[in-house]
Structure 1
Amino acid sequence: MKKVLISLVLLLLVGYSIAVSVEAKIPGGVKDISKENTYPNPTQDLPYLQPSELAQQLVESANVPIENPDLIRLLNESSVSGSPVAVGYRATVFLGHWALNYESGRTAANWEYEKINTNVTDNRGGERQIQNFYRQEAQKRVTGGLTAKIPEAEHVKKMMLLKAMKKTNLPLSFDTIVGAGTKQDHVYNIPPKKMGYLYAYAPAINEKGKVTYGEVYLVLRGNKQKIIVKNVTSQGIGAWIPIQDHVSFRFSISDRPR
């Protein structure tokens, strides 16, 4: 009985790992248009901020994990004197209420997040096969965002973006544009007496997890410094994050206009 249970658990784990890898794989119908896009989207550059020596010591001293790059930047810009005259000195400095960290729970792709274009080719009066191809008719802006209103929304978005980019290894941005006139070379054939519809969609990542908040205090005791976090709370949150410079295509043939 124990061997059967172990086998079932292993099968479930294998199935889970397969599901995750399939989810992360880009389907054949999704094309990278970074070279063809007539609108040059700025590259999202959100590197993990390296804390200074002092900031690292403070982060490690905290009773709650701190990942917020803006809070780490604030600590990087801080300095505390190590003068011997500080012996016996006591102070507590309130640094504010912060979104401290984000824990990713689920990351999934929606390859047809938002329709951005339709190319229609009518061959109902034709006697031979003709071709349809993608051409972006009008500039299209695609935006994502958080699924609920929460405190420190911009800080949370940064942390969610960092986690989602690391998990998917995809170029993600909460705001991306596909320029008018953007083309793709792939050809879609339309037989005689038919109409061809080529739909283009902007894909996006759905990120879900938990954000932790707290009141951050810098505590000074003589030559020693540490961070104490009080009134810690957690809240579930989700976000849609478009995949930059990628388009998902779906082609269909019809006897009549749609």
Structure 2
Amino acid sequence: MGKVRSFLILILSLLVVLIAASTVMANERSGQSKVGNYKIPSSVLNVAKENTYPNPSQDLPKLQPSELTKELLETSNVKIENPDLILMLNESSISKPLLAFRHHATIYLGNWPLNYVSKETSANWEYQKINTNFYDNRSGKAPYKIHYVQEMQKIVKGGLTAKVPNASDVKKMMLLKATEKTGLPLSFDTIIGAGTKKDQYYNIPIRKLGYLDAYAPAINEKGTITYGEVYLVLKGGKKQISVKNVTSQGIGAWIPIQDHVSFKFNAVEMPR
């Protein structure tokens, strides 16, 4: 039995290795690589190490509700995911006198964006042009190698596609959801510093002009944001969250992919 078990374990291990290898080969054949949960084209390169401007990390850890906040969120008639509202509840306390048997109070906490539901997440690998490297090899006697060098510092900004109340809260929730879905380093603001370069060369044939265009890629996030008036209700020794006047609206956002550049190379006979 021991030999049979060892043989089966060996076979299973080989199958795992073969499946992993076939996945890698499929990605290579399609010209794509995988970062996090998202496949990106081979023309898009990570320049985090080469970037002369160190972008701050946009990691947004999911805020954990306190025990009191958990109890309150479970009583809400609408799902609440807004990290700023959860933080406010975490920092609140309810003393025992307020929970007296005959005490009754309704406290208005404000009109909040409560949750964001993602419906579509897609990539635009050429969201914004940031640089062009050029060389004229029409009089050259041999092919000329060109590579990417960022000529000027470039600030790439994203944003919401429409004006909405509490825009900063909405952006935070959309950023969290898009990052979770793609696994990519996303930020509404990112910078590519002057002098950033990548040692990937492109050949310009003789009698040709070469253009190497660089683009900042971005994620287009679309979904629905839900708003509501939030009340804390204390009655008969019980506490709960009540949400009134609930409204929903569609919203979209462009969120740049941090420290990534998409390249497009063209060799032409005439200046463009």
TM-score with structure 2 length normalisation? Answer: 0.85
Q: How far 1:59 moved relative to its partner?
A: 0.9
Q: Paired residue for 1:98, among 84, 108, 112?
A: 112
Following superposition of structure 1 onto structure 2, how do residues 65-104 of structure 1 map, counting pairs within 5 Å? 65-83=79-97, 86-104=100-118
Match of 2:142 in 1: 128
Match of 1:191 in 2: 205
SS at match of 1:57: helix
**Residues of 1 paired with 2:184 and 2:209: CA distance?**
35
Residues 99 and 237 of structure 2 are in contact (CA less than 8 Å); yes or no, is this contact kept in structure 1?
no
Is structure 2 residue 184 aligned with structure 1 residue 178? Answer: no
Is structure 2 residue 183 aligned with structure 1 residue 169? Answer: yes
Unaligned runs of 5+ in 1: 1-20
Q: How far 1:39 moved relative to its partner?
A: 0.2
Match of 1:10 in 2: none
Is structure 2 residue 204 aligned with structure 1 residue 153? Answer: no
SS at match of 1:25: strand
Q: How far 1:223 moved relative to its partner?
A: 2.6
Q: How far 1:86 moved relative to its partner?
A: 1.6
**Residues of 2 paired with 1:84 and 1:109: CA distance?**
51
Match of 2:56 in 1: 42
Letter paired with 1:40: P
Q: How far 1:84 moved relative to its partner?
A: 8.8
Match of 1:28 in 2: 42
Q: How far 1:211 moved relative to its partner?
A: 0.2
Distance 1:226 1:35, change over 3 A: same
SS at match of 1:105: strand
SS at match of 1:256: coil
**Residues of 2 paired with 1:249 and 1:199: CA distance?**
6
Q: Deviations over 1:60-116 (max 9, x none)?
A: 110000000000000000000135972211100000000000000000000000000
Q: How far 1:236 moved relative to its partner?
A: 0.2
SS at match of 1:165: helix
Q: Paired residue for 1:56, among 66, 70, 87?
A: 70
Q: Deviations over 1:113-135 (max 9, x none)?
A: 00000000110110111100000
Match of 1:14 in 2: none
Residues 83 and 223 of structure 1 are in contact (CA less than 8 Å); yes or no, is this contact kept in structure 2?
no
Aligned alpha-carbon RMSD (Å): 1.5
Residues 200 and 248 of structure 1 are in contact (CA less than 8 Å); yes or no, is this contact kept in structure 2?
yes
SS at match of 2:86: helix
Residues 99 and 234 of structure 2 are in contact (CA less than 8 Å); yes or no, is this contact kept in structure 1?
no
Letter paired with 2:195: G
Q: Paired residue for 1:218, among 216, 228, 232?
A: 232
Is structure 2 residue 133 aligned with structure 1 residue 119? Answer: yes
Q: What is the aligned residue count?
A: 238
Unaligned runs of 5+ in 2: 1-32
SS at match of 1:70: helix
Distance 1:176 1:84, change over 3 A: closer
Letter paired with 1:82: K
Letter paired with 1:33: V
SS at match of 1:31: strand
Q: How far 1:143 moved relative to its partner?
A: 0.2
**Residues of 1 paired with 2:147 and 2:105: CA distance?**
68
TM-score with structure 1 length normalisation? Answer: 0.90
SS at match of 1:99: strand
Residues 99 and 235 of structure 2 are in contact (CA less than 8 Å); yes or no, is this contact kept in structure 1?
no
Letter paired with 1:73: L
Letter paired with 1:221: K
Match of 1:11 in 2: none
Q: Paired residue for 1:203, among 217, 223, 247?
A: 217
Match of 1:141 in 2: 155
Q: Which runs of 4+ in 1 moved over 6 A?
A: none
